[in-house]
Structure 1
Amino acid sequence: TLTSRDAINAKLRDILDEATDKWGVKVNRVEMQEILPPEEIRTAMEKEMRAERDKRARILQADGEREYQIRVADGEKQARIARAEGEAQAKKLVADAERQAIMLIAEAVKDSGTDPAQYQIALRYVEAFKEIVKQGDKTVVLPYESSALLGSVKTLGDIFQKS
């Protein structure tokens, strides 16, 4: 390097100045222009420089890979957040729609004297039976308290007749 070369030049100047002083010669400046090390040292220096370049290239490659992984992970994170927010918003909209439907049903059946909760339960029973019938099974198992179920269906029928 340049600072090493300057240090060698300064040391060489001091040695030459001291050696030539007895003849009245003053050495003011020494400059090494070319250093020719032996072949094996030159080969070793080239290997060291090549290894240093390879090391820097691997470090840059690793940094680039790390940055890529961070960006991919960040993108996936943002996508998951957006999906979760969308699902939450959809659930909220469904819940709001159900609430409005229940309020409308309650308003509609209030004059008939029917309990809106009983009406909803009866509707769900009917929907469940539709699904059971669609499956095509020949055997349908009813709960022990089937009378409550039939009472709910009867209530549903009464509501439709009053409307």
Structure 2
Amino acid sequence: MQIFLIILAVLILFILILSSIFSIKVIQQSEFAVVTRLGKYKKTLNNGLNFIVPFIDKIVKRENYKEKVLDFPEQDVITKDNAGIKVDTVIYLQIIEPEKFVYGAENAMRAIENLSATTLRNLLGELELDETLTSRDTINSKLTLILDEASNSWGLKVHRVEIKNITPPKDIQDAMEKQMRAEREKRANILEAEGQKQASILRAEGEQAAQILKAKAEKETQILLAEAKKEKEILEAEGQKQALILLSESKINKEILTFKSIEQLGKMADGKATKIILPPNLNEVARTMSVASEVFKENK
């Protein structure tokens, strides 16, 4: 009897130790665990040390709150103008309510994928091909809003939806490439024409500026020459005026006048004079020039 009691006590102690071990649950940072008690939702365990009732409580789902990136396969979409395209989308979402995530949908990630595909087909089916290629931001915003509202009951928060690729059919791609080449050539021709135009304008402006500078230089040269001539004439006039004043103030006798006349006649007789005036008394002048020539030779 005592041996039975001892075995029973040891067994109870072992069960207690084992239950205490199983009742302690450590949840890592940003993780959560959904606990049920006898098949019914009990609570959500967050990061840190947690306790549950062993053999009664059970963890049915263990996940994390981190933002998830779902890259779905390409979807075949028909646009409004009956162009078949392939669209590849990426969804960024996060679990915010673990209870709804576990019990809201059987497979929440699969549900969000199917909803994304059908919504994308509906949105792009209302647009023509050119609009689908130029309205990515609008499509992304509408997809994000629709998926976020629909996924609230699944405990998910859709932060954004991005369209990675839109692939048109091969013939449309070839036509688009031809159009792009034509546009590039057009822009290149326009730029070349603009460049030639600007070059012509600059050359014309340069020639005009050069002509203006040349005309200004010639004008300034003429002005300087005229001013120099004017200064020269003014100085000569002032010299003549001073000479006349000096002559009028000085007492000139007959001998000085005769000497000056002989001196001038000597220059004329020397043969260097360019102008000769013949007076009426040519004989007297001839004798005077002979005398002046002899005097001039002696002076030399």
TM range (shorter): 0.3 to 0.5
Greater share of residues in helix: 1
What TM-score, normalized to structure 2? 0.27
Higher relative CO (Cα under 8 Å, sequence separation at least 6) belongs to 1
Larger radius of gyration: 2
What TM-score, normalized to structure 1? 0.46
Greater share of residues in strand: 2
